[in-house]
Structure 1
Amino acid sequence: MAMVAGRAGVSGQTVSRVVNGSPRVDPATRARVEAAMVELGYRPHRAARALRTGRTQTIGLVVTTLATVGNSRMLQATAEAAEERGYALLLVTAGDAVADAFDRLRDQGVDGAIVLNEASALTLAADRPEGLHLVVVDAPASSGLRVVHSDHAGGAAVATGKLLDLGHENVWHLAGPTDSFAAAERERGWREMLQARGVTPSPVVRGDWSAESGHLAASELTQATAVFSANDQMALGLVRGFAEQGRCVPDRVSVIGFDDVPDAANYRPPLTTVRQDFTALAVAAVDALVAEIEGDEVATAGVSRDGGAQGIIRTRLIERESAASA
């Protein structure tokens, strides 16, 4: 590192910041240091650095399942965001006892962990792991943990308002599981928009995020002319179920989903949906965790424990062909 510093004309601390992916290095200096590293054939030795700094440059990712599209996309996005910051990623799955997952992460010497979605609810109910930095994706701001999440309620409200604007007298809701923060927030956004427009919400029909549960839910939504589905997979099954009833989408019933999975544009019909920015969500989570690990108070200010707005990632309605006038 001293040789790299001499070649680049900077301090050893600046080289360390570049190696560790710190944002507190201006681009020109970073480029000069990286060029010197290439010229000298310098590569950081992770184990040696861990002995010196007490950090392994490894973060954990805790999930309960990768079967859902949201979790698998977050895994990909988090891995890329961690690599960009110079951190390795270690994946662990949590059963009913999330504490076991935290113990496994401690055994591997990780510097901190990101907890995803369903595992977040387990974390809130468990004892907080001592000495392990945590960032939780999808949890209430009141949890006392550092939290980031998409604007689930806002996206749901926009989707519901769109269906009302198309002339539908009411909008039914195909909700996600009761133990999901994201599902609860999407239901809240749907309900609050209806109430703001003077519409009494219809009874909620609930699925489990799968397309099969959406298909089954069609039999409970025979009176609906418009449905907001809490995710795209359930919307896909719902569209099939309605077609089997002879109620084609969008001629007889309109459907809007949530997530904007890669296949949503190729549904039949192409699905109108609320887009989650999984990349931005993962970057926010990784940046917040790395800031905690490295003690960067400036960086941690953006994702606060008191529900600060900067910890909420915006969503956007993507209009396609599955929603039409009543």
Structure 2
Amino acid sequence: MTAGRSLGLLLGIVADGVFGDPKKGHPVALFGAAAARLERMAYRDHKIPGAVYTGALVGSVVALGAVAEWAGRRRPAVRVVATAAATWIALGGKSLANEGTLMGRSLNDGDVAAARKRLPSLCGRDPQALDTTALARATVESVAENTSDAVVAPLFWGALFGVPGLLGYRAVNTLDAMVGHRSPRYLRFGWASARLDDVVNLVPARAAAALTVAGAPVVGGSALGAWQAWQRDAAAHPSPNAGRVEAAFAGALEIRLGGRTVYAHGVEERPVLGTGRSPDAGHVTRAVELSRVVGALAGVGAAFVALITRR
């Protein structure tokens, strides 16, 4: 059983690396469309309807994953295929690297208009309010955060709980992106989604920060700087999780992140992470390289944990 899960995780990682996200019919996109339809029916400006909405959607996905996991209990091939498919669905490593690389190229070419057009694929900031430096900063921060959210965290939950862990985590993270932000519409309705996302990312975010420390020298970065920035600056970040890996990336790349952050729903003043200079296009490229290294380390670690965990 454990070997099947471990092999399935590795095959899913390879599938993500080779194929990335399908452009049409991605299960996450289909889930998002279903969640949007349900939101139109269930929305009320209150926490309780939001909690029911979140619980119903996440619970349904976990139940589907549990059925797939159960079907493979005595069929090793089914278990491997189901785990591989769920891993491929849950991961977003190649898409993240592709978007980060294209952003780096646009910034390196001085094509601010192209970079602004592409930024919404990475984060929800207002691109028209950002200059070249701010676009680079937004990209590095998004690459760092999504390395945890789209790579390390799904592998963590997949290693421990298999298909239900992979699909359930992806459902939670998708709902957080849809309704978990602090806009007037979702401040109460999205509260449960946001808090659940905080909980399921508590350990993975810190694992991602630790892997950033370990992987920093591979891209010519500073392991000591990553550790110091993580320990010194992360707690001041408004997110209990994103600040950990963002601070570690800042220290590893010897740059300064944080500061004024402009969203469509308002402006936030973020604490400064790191003590280096402001990021540029070159740092975007290195952030993508570091993300790949962290993802590779997470994949090896997840496969090992799955192999030794008896479930």
Q: TM-score, normalised by structure 1?
A: 0.27
* Greater share of helix: 2
**Which structure has the higher relative contact order (CA within 8 Å, separation 6+)?**
2
TM-score if structure 2 supplies the norm length? 0.28
Which structure carries more strand by proportion?
1
